[in-house]
């Protein structure tokens, strides 16, 4: 089973571009997975445009919250160990440093899953 970690910018961009990221992830991930976010992401969403709506979706869909060890969520993501993670992000800097598969928004319309092994 994979843990799909949803990054803050991924969540906000999905709503901005009116992408139903839940059904899109179901479409591209034909394997067992659990959607997760870091606790720090909840804090980052609090005062953002679409933040309130995103928090409601997280609660509604029972997305698992993982304890943050850092004040900066990207550090938490980069410190993950193991092979069962997929990171949903559009952060170009983060993507450059990740050795995990990623899910990203393509053409502001849909999601793609790509291998991103360093």
Pull the structure tokens for residue 99: 């050795």
> How many domains are there within the chain?
1
DSSP-assigned letters across all residues of 1-50: -EEEEEPHHHHHHHHHTT--HHHHHHHH--S-EEEEEEHHHHHHHTTSTT
Q: What angle do CA 87, 91, 94 make, to 5 degrees?
A: 70
Stated pTM of the model: 0.91
Instruction: Give the range of the structural domain holding residue 10, as residue numbers without chain letter.
Output: 2-114
Report the alpha-carbon distance of residue 35 to residue 41 in Å, rounded.
13
Q: What angle do CA 57, 15, 97 make, to 5 degrees?
A: 95
Residue 18 maps to which CATH number? 3.40.50.1010
pLDDT tens-place values along the chain, 118 residues long: 999 999 999 999 999 999 999 999 999 999 999 999 999 998 888 888 888 899 999 999 989 999 988 878 989 999 998 789 999 999 998 888 888 899 999 999 999 999 865 4
Res 98: pLDDT = 87
The percent of residues in the chain predicted with pLDDT above 90, rounded, is 65
For residue 91, give the nearest of 2, 22, 13, 23 by alpha carbon.
13
């Amino acid at each position: 089973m994979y843990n799909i970690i949803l990054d803050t910018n991924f969540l906000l961009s999905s709503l901005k571009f009116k992408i139903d990221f839940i059904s899109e992830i179901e479409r591209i991930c034909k394997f067992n997975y659990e959607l997760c976010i870091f606790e720090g992401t909840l804090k980052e969403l609090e005062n953002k445009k679409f933040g309130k709506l995103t928090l409601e979706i997280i609660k509604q869909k029972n997305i698992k919250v993982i304890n943050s060890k850092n004040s900066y969520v990207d550090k938490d993501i980069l410190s993950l160990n193991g092979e069962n993670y997929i990171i949903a992000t559009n952060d170009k800097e983060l993507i450059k440093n990740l050795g995990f598969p990623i899910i990203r928004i393509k053409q502001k319309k849909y999601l793609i899953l790509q291998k991103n092994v360093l």
